[in-house]
Amino acid sequence: MASRQHVAMTGNEAVAHAMRQINPDVVAAYPITPQTDIVQFFSQFVADGVVKTEFVTVESEHSAMSATIGAAASGARAMTATSSQGLALMWEMLHIASGYRLPIVMPVVNRTLSGPINIHCDHSDTMGALTTGWIQLYSESAQEAYDNMIQAVRIAEHPDVQLPVMVCQDGFITSHGIENLEVLSDEEVAQFIGEYKPVYSVLDVNRPITVGPLVLPDYLFEMKFQQAKAMEAARRVILEVGKEYGRLTGREYGFFEGYRLEDAERVIVVLSSTAGTTRVVVDELRRKGEKVGLLKPRVIRPFPASELREALSHARAVAIMDRAETFSTQGGPLFCEIRAAFYDAPERPLMRNYIFGLGGRDVGTSQIEKVFADLAADLARGSVKTPVSYLDVRE
Amino acid sequence: MATLRELSRMPEMLVPGHRMCAGCGAPIVVRQVLRAAHGPVVVANATGCLEVSTTVYPFTSWQCPWIHTAFESTAASLSGVEAAYKSLKRQGKISQEIKFVAFGGDGGTYDIGLQSLSGALERGHKMVYVCYDNGAYMNTGIQRSSATPKGAETTTSPVGKVQAGKPRSRKDLTKIVAAHNIPYVAQVSPAHWNDLYAKAEKAFAADGPAFLNAIAPCPRGWRHDSSETIEMCRLAVDTCFWPLYEVENGKIRVTYKPKEKKPLVEFLKRQGRFNHLFKPGNEGLLEELQQEVDRQWEALLAQSES
């Protein structure tokens, strides 16, 4: 594609389009609802000869990640894509991808984990992967999923990072919804991501290396320390790449997006597509003179604790929405981490958690209005009565 | 056919200094197979004795590129390496001819890695997969696998008051692999080094996936003296417990017929894992094991083209 275009695409199509433009050396993937379209679109690109990719049609997601790791260790730009059970089946290999410092980019179309089985959106799949050493970017829309894909390549491959990246979008809501977005030209993408120059490769037979040896207590700790340092370095790189992408497209990306946040007294923190619904409610309430706002995290691995604290420092009441239940009985993962970020803060807003939207339970404006109303009641009371509650569930 | 002298002068890909046990069959298999690669080779290794004992960081015994990812993922990971090779070669970024070989034990091949092996075979990656079959999970301390022979004692098929070792027969993985209709499948034994070398050459030359199933005694698990490894390999073949044959483009051929087929007990009685079978009361079980070997050998001969 020679020039920038405005196109109508689903989230899955936008991600597949980005993959075509990234033109990876190897893609190894297995179909799963709601990610399937990505694999189908990409299969067609391969069949039409518009990518240079060697496409490995593996027999499971475990093998998808295993083959992607093998390809990445061979100095190839390697990708896969998955959802839900597929991500769960990869779990063992997710740690190996990050532990081997392989810059793999993987779109994840968020879907709830069984059981019982359900194909619809929540974030239990990727929230279960918070400890796997992958960078996680969340996308509200097809546009953001596309933009995150392009940036993820640069973030993953940066010499100071060398870590895999998940690009998440909401199953069906975003993945199957058609929206208008602007896509870059193929040349712009090629130029932005640049040529991949791996430092090591198992295909370099003149300089043989041993990948994945047995590492005992005398060295493993140092390797994990270096991995943690790389995740720390990713904080800087994510911002640099986001700025550069902004100069190219006019769409700059940071750790999160604030909407009418500056003077907001009541704030909802929510990931991905629900942020769009929240934005509508913020506008409605603002028209009525209510000081409400939205904070939509984009990056939660690495976790931008100090930046989130700063951005929420003026708020008086904050509702943190988790589309995942991790059964700690102390609230969802986003809530626990943001609340922990305020431990050392001189002033802390009232903070409460909602578990919402599990298994694709729809979240409309009325539910978001209720959350803002609950925050108002907390403020009037001066305290949070129910720190963790379940939004729109039959108790 | 190379002579032993020629083979001994070929470059080693797995060099001394590793921590494999004395008498272990696995490194013998590896060294014999890699001699037949004739050029650059990339090795993938399943989790297991061979992997942990040859790559204790910051050291490695491998003179060629080597990759390990996990226990069950070896064939899949190597298929990713091979896919990268094809892609980069097509783009002109690599010009050398490189061969790809995986080594996994029976646990990583017959059991936990069977799915990823089957997938890689069906997809047709040009790679040689070598199973070093020592008939149990030796790395974790001798637990039964689906390659453990019936009657063998392991720590998870112990001999007790109501059980005489493993109650089930072993899986015939070589036949299962052959059912994938890949270009080349063979059973090999390090005692028959010339047969093994010739089959490894065919495997590397195959236009698609190839599979070698190699018997690889474990002195610890089989409970024989570490000096007797090659003898155990020979007895396995001469009793027809481990027939040497190949399946080349669908044609089955027995490559070695013992002049005089030895009774199975000659193989069993040398190994401590079968001690209990020679106690009074287990004669029937011994007979049953002999009959099973006979049945399988006769069936193989009937299928063999020459």
Interval A354-368 mean pLDDT: 98
Give the pair of three-digit tokens for residue A365.
Answer: 């404006």
* Total residues found in chain A within this entry: 395
Residues of B in contact with A210 (CB under 8 A): 55, 60, 62, 65-67
- Percentage of the residues of chain A whose pLDDT score is greater than 70: 99
Q: Tens digit of pLDDT for each residue in A204-225?
A: 999 999 999 999 999 999 999 9
Interface with chain B: mutation pick from A214, A216, A223, highest number of B CBs within 10 Å: A214
Q: What is the number of domains present in chain B?
A: 1
Q: Does B124 touch chain A (CB under 8 A)?
A: no
Question: pLDDT, tens digit, for every residue of B243-292?
Answer: 999 999 999 999 999 999 999 999 999 999 999 999 999 999 999 999 99
Look-up of token digits 């696995």: B26
Closest CA to A165 of A234, A224, A254: A234
Q: Which among A57, A63, A77 is the top mutation candidate for probing chain B, defined by the most B β-carbons within 10 Å of its own β-carbon?
A: A63
Rounded-to-integer distance, Cα A145 and Cα A124, Å: 19
Q: What is the pLDDT of residue B2?
A: 83
Domains and CATH numbers, chain A: 5-249 (3.40.50.970), 256-390 (3.40.50.920)
Average pLDDT score over residue span A376-389: 97
Indicate the average pLDDT of chain A: 97
- Partners of A63 on chain B (C-beta within 8 Å) are 73, 76, 79, 115-116, 119-120
Residue B1: pLDDT over 80:
no
**Cα end-to-end span (Å), chain A:** 52
CATH number at residue B227: 3.40.50.970
Residue A348: the pLDDT is 95
What value does the mean pLDDT take over residues A116-128? 98
What lies within 8 Å, CB to CB, of B171 at 6+ separation is B110, B146, B147
Quick check: A82 pLDDT over 90? yes
Structure-block tokens of residue A98: 């990050």
Phi, psi angle pair for A60, to nearest 5°: -170, 165
Q: Are A205 and B91 in contact (CB < 8 Å)?
A: no
For the question of an ipTM over 0.85, the answer is yes
Please check whether residue B8 is in contact with residue B205, taking contact to mean a CB–CB distance below 8 angstroms: no
* CB atoms B80 and A214 under 8 Å: no
- Give A3's pLDDT tier (boundaries 50, 70, 90): confident
- The alpha carbon of residue B223 is apart from the nearest alpha carbon of chain A, in Å, by 27
Query: Which DSSP state fits A210?
Result: E
| CB nearest to A26's CB, from B56, B76, B83 | B83
Q: Taking residues A71-97, what's their average pLDDT?
A: 98
- Contact yes or no for B170/B150 (Cβ under 8 A): yes
Contact: B84, A216; criterion CB under 8 Å? no
The 10s digit of each residue's pLDDT in B126-169 is 999 999 999 999 999 999 999 999 999 999 999 999 999 999 99
How many helices (H) and strands (E) chain B has is answered by: 11, 8
pLDDT tens-digit map of B197-232:
999 999 999 999 999 999 999 999 999 999 999 999
Of A54, A63, A204, the CB nearest to B65: A204
Q: What is the pLDDT of residues A9-55, one digit of tens each?
A: 999 999 999 999 999 999 999 999 999 999 999 999 999 999 999 99
Burial tier of A262 (Cβ tally within 10 Å: 0-12, 13-18, 19+): exposed
Chain B residues within 8 A of A216 when measuring between CB atoms: 56-57
B108 close to B71: Cβ distance less than 8 angstroms: yes
Q: Give me the residues paired with residue A210 across strands.
A: B66
Beta bridge partners of A165: A105, A135
Q: What is the pLDDT of residues A276-335, one digit of tens each?
A: 999 999 999 999 999 999 999 999 999 999 999 999 999 999 999 999 999 999 999 999
B65 touches chain A (CB under 8 A): yes
DSSP letter at A28 equals E
d(CA A127, CA A150): 22
**pLDDT, averaged across chain B:** 97
CA quadruple B125, B126, B131, B137: dihedral sign: negative
Is it the case that residue A1 has pLDDT exceeding 80? Answer: no
Structure confidence at residue B227 (pLDDT): 98
Nearest by CB: B90 against A52, A63, A212: A52
The pLDDT tens digits for B248-260 are: 999 999 999 999 9
Residue whose tokens read 């209709």? B181
Confidence tier at A101 by pLDDT (50, 70, 90)? very high
Which of A73, A209, A215 is closest, CB to CB, to B81? A73
> Is there a contact between A311 and A256 (Cβ–Cβ < 8 Å)?
yes
Q: What percent of chain A has pLDDT over 90?
A: 99
The Cα A232–Cα A160 span in angstroms is: 9
Which of B81, B99, B118 to mutate: most A Cβ within 10 Å?
B81
Give percent of chain B above pLDDT 70: 100
pLDDT exceeds cutoff 90 at B184: yes
SS3 A176: coil
Model confidence band, residue A2 (pLDDT cutoffs 50, 70, 90): low
Nearest CA-CA distance, residue B68 and chain A, Å? 5
Distance between CA atoms of B75 and B88, rounded to whole angstroms?
20
The residue among A261, A383, A268 whose CA lies nearest residue A335 is: A268
**CB of B224 within 8 A of CB of B271?**
yes
Q: Which domain holds residue B128?
A: 4-303
CB of B45 closer than 8 Å to CB of B97: no
